[in-house]
Structure 1
Amino acid sequence: MASNIKQNKNDVDGWFTAVVTNGIIFLESSVSNLSKSPKSSLIDLYTAIELFFKARLMKEHWSLIISKPESAVKQKFESGDFRSVYLEQAYIRLKNICGENIEKEAMDNFKALGEHRNQIVHFAHTGFSGKETEVVIEHWVSWFHLHKLLTNNWADIFSSHLGLIDEIDVKVKLNHNFLKAKFDLIQDEIEIEKKRGSRIVSCTSCGLESAKVRKSHGWGEDIECLVCDVKDLKLKAIETSIPCLNCNKEVKYFMVKDHKCTECQIELASEYALEKYTEIYQEQDPEVRYGDGADPLAYCHKCHIEKQTVLNLEGMWVCVECEDRGWAALDCENCDSFVTGYVEAIRYFACHRCEDEVRKNYVDKWGNI
């Protein structure tokens, strides 16, 4: 940090709030400038992405935001006197230290946006001249991946800011007409793909019937949208319904927006859904995991909630809390927990509930090898 910049002293929580607030300001500016100053909009969006990555690091430990944490001095940090990490450094630390599993498609997109940003800031970028739709699509895809991180992976960390983030999401969606225009233009391309045998489904991002299925799994499909360029996993639909606790109408909980009853609009809590789906699970196969008095529910390795929220529906293990699905569920021999996750890791090492303790015991016994 330049020596002529004076910062007010702040504690870790204060700096976290300041960084998040700054990120939201850049997001707001990015959306506002999208039509009148597209290049400025991309710069602001990339800056916001970098700020949110730094804020996530700060939640793990304040020193991780510093470019050289081994030389970190907390007094200097509290005074804002330090050089912070770049996006690529932040990503590596989130992966190696925090165990964050950020999708490759998301990071590839953020890096590409960073390259656009560098061309604009450090030299010149002529690629977007007169191509407003392409700028909007670039913005749309980056926002899609950032919004997914903030509202899913990092929802607990940024919970107090999700209201403002949702307001920005609404503003981004106002640019949907640009995507619809491209959708109309590429109808011939879509038809050619269909004739080649490709399956075209609705996109998880723009909602248009323009996503090409790249690979199918038991739990969903890998898709690539021909309109907005988003690459994503489209989860398999779960049709099983439960009765609304208010009007008793059957509701397909996993398929309705905000889990609201389509009749009376009351929101069904995940706890209620879990109770009702457990009853259905028992009715479908009363012998499974009940013979020895065991609980039929598993702990989710994705959302790490300290209660069992995963059960078997339509042949898949599904978490009612985070809606992740398709994983194996098995007993961990170390802690006797019934969990989801990578089978080999659980069998030969540990599950997500006991891995820290198992690792510590290993280090205590054998040291760092």
Structure 2
Amino acid sequence: MAKIKQKKQSSDEWFDAVVTNGLSFLHSSVERLENDAKFAIIDLYTAIELFFKARLMKEHWALILTKPDEANKVKFENGDFQSVYLKQAVNRLEKICGEEFDNAAIENFNALNGHRNQLVHFAHTDFFHGNSSVVIEHWASWYYLHNLLTEQWRPYFESYEDKFQQLQRKVNKNKGYLSAKFEALKCQIEIERKKGNEIEECPSCKLESAVITKTYNWGHDIECLVCDVKKLKLKDIRTEIKCDSCKKSMEYFMLTDEFCPHCSAEITPEYALEQYSYLYEKEDPDCLIQDGCDYIAYCHTCGDKKPSVVYVDGLWVCVFCEDRGWTATHCNHCDSFVTGDVQRVEDFACHRCEDEVRDDILAGFN
């Protein structure tokens, strides 16, 4: 077997090369989905494995090898090695990196792998009998992968976010197969309504086909009958603020990007926070928007140094990361007004002072 020689590269260069390769397979998958679903499935699963390997490489390049204890940098650079499959990659990310994955996402990726194996190693009868179920799983796989790359793995893939969003825009245009399934499921959707189940628009395929399975104060769990996506859909926040440019009102938390829907002026989170602060001042002129004010809390999720959580539409919502549903309370130790687990804040400390409190406790044992 002829050896493959590749140029010497740094760890960052190898990471970029793997991500770029994954992106090329994603583009191919999206472009082929309508007319050549078979290769779209193969390309998408290949991309999924590549991104899992790229995430492993962020810890150490040897982790993508089936036998890391036999790692050889020269062989790695020449492509002379066996790499992990998805199951191994997931296992290592969970046990070594402390990652936690959505079970529905991993199950979907594994199902896609099963279809891919049938296509590559034998044959897949669904592609010869007009069955669209496999194509629908393709949509769900892209949805879960996109969420993984832009949310959970955002710190590792942030520099590629524009390319991910470009792909997302392409995917949103390829809905012919989803519309066909939606039409076929109209009777079933109506049966769900008659059972008393609430149906609403799916955040993934944008069709009115998502069954609400459980309701919380901050949103509800949904299962889409068309694209099979299962996720928590957060409660819509409708309180409006005015654009600084055109002065027209907009629902900031409902924007899909940071631009005014009327004049396309940029609407930054900092500006939105300022505007929601003004709303509080109108309701209570004696309230000072500063540290300790009972109207703006520190967010324990994004940990920003500036108070960024506002009380809107009956929920505490962070203007920066948009996490919602938590209770805001004063910390007994540092008196900061924060969100988080109230019991933990009262019994131990908040996210702003927990390190200091922990150090004080440990010092007491020395």
Q: TM-score, normalised by structure 1?
A: 0.84
C-alpha deviations, 1:237-259, integer Å up to 9, x for none? 11111111111111110113314
Distance of 2:185 and 2:107 partners within structure 1: 24
The aligned counterpart of 2:141 is: 142
Q: Which amino acid aligns with 2:107?
A: D
Aligned CA distance change for structure 1 residues 293 and 141 (closer, same or farther; 3 Å) = closer
Which letter maps to 1:31? V
Are positions 1:240 and 2:242 aligned together? no
Q: Are the aligned partners of 1:34 and 1:41 in contact in 2 as well (CA < 8 Å)?
A: yes
Q: Deviations over 1:145-178 (max 9, x none)?
A: 1112222333343233222222222222222122
Q: Deviations over 1:175-205 (max 9, x none)?
A: 2122122222222211111111010111111
- 2:126/2:134 contact within 8 Å kept: no
- Matched letter for residue 219 of structure 2: G
**1:161 aligned residue:** 160
Structure 1 residue 23 displacement after superposition: 0.2
Partner of 2:91: 92
Kept in 2: contact 1:289–1:295 (CA 8 A):
no
* RMSD over aligned Cα atoms: 3.4
Indicate conservation of the 8 Å contact 2:178/2:205, yes or no.
Answer: yes
Aligned length: 365
Structure 1 pair 286/235, CA: closer, same or farther in 2 (3 Å)? farther
| 147-156 vs 317-326, which moves further | 147-156
User: Does residue 28 of the first structure (1) align with residue 27 of the second (2)?
Assistant: yes
Map 1:124-135 to 2 at 5 A: 124-131=123-130, 133-135=132-134
The one-letter code matched in structure 1 to 2:184 is L
Check if 1:313 corresponds to 2:312: yes
- SS of 1:28's partner is helix
Q: How does 1:224-263 map to 2 (within 5 A)?
A: 224-263=223-262
**Distance change >3 Å, CA 365–CA 73, structure 1 → 2:** farther
**Alpha-carbon distance, 1:355 to partner:** 7.2
Question: Could you tell me whether the CA contact under 8 Å between 1:211 and 1:224 is conserved in 2?
Answer: yes
User: What's the CA shift string for 1:296-340, capped at 9, x where partnerless?
Assistant: 544444445454432322222212122221123445678776544
Range with greater deviation from structure 2 (17-26 or 348-357)? 348-357
Q: CA deviation at 1:54?
A: 1.8
Whether the 8 Å contact between 2:57 and 2:63 is mirrored in structure 1 is yes
Which blocks of at least 5 consecutive residues in structure 1 are unaligned? none
Separation in structure 2 between the aligned mates of residue 70 and residue 342 of structure 1, nearest angstrom:
41
5+ residue gaps, structure 2, are none
The equivalences for 1:170-319 within 5 A come to 170-284=169-283, 293=292, 296-319=295-318
| Matched residue SS, 1:210 | strand
1:12 aligns with 2:16: no
Q: How far has the Cα of 1:287 moved from its partner? A: 8.3
The offset of 1:5, in angstroms, is 3.1
Deviates more, 1:325-334 or 1:352-361: 352-361
107-116 or 327-336: which moved more? 327-336
Letter of the 1:5 counterpart: I
Q: Structure 2 vs 1, CA of residues 306 and 40 (structure 1 numbering), >3 Å: closer, same or farther?
A: farther
User: Is the 8 Å Cα contact of residues 42 and 139 (structure 1) preserved in structure 2?
Assistant: yes
Give the share of equivalent positions with the same residue, in percent. 54
Measure the CA separation in 1 of the matches of 2:295 and 2:257: 26
The answer for the alignment partner of 2:103 in structure 1 is 104
Q: Quick check: 2:62–2:68 contact (8 Å CA) kept in 1?
A: yes
- Look up the SS of the partner of 2:317 in the other structure: strand
Q: Please tell me the residue identity of whatever aligns with 2:312.
A: L
Q: Deviations over 1:188-241 (max 9, x none)?
A: 211111111010111111111111111111111111111121112221011111
State the alpha-carbon separation in 2 of the partners of residues 74 and 11 from structure 1: 11
Match of 1:57 in 2: 56
Q: CA deviation at 1:74?
A: 5.0
Residues 172-181 or 233-242, more deviating = 172-181
Q: Is the 8 A contact 2:295 2:310 kept in 1?
A: yes
Task: Give the drift of 1:273.
Answer: 0.7
Give the 3 Å change call, closer, same or farther, for CA 256–293 of structure 1 in structure 2: closer
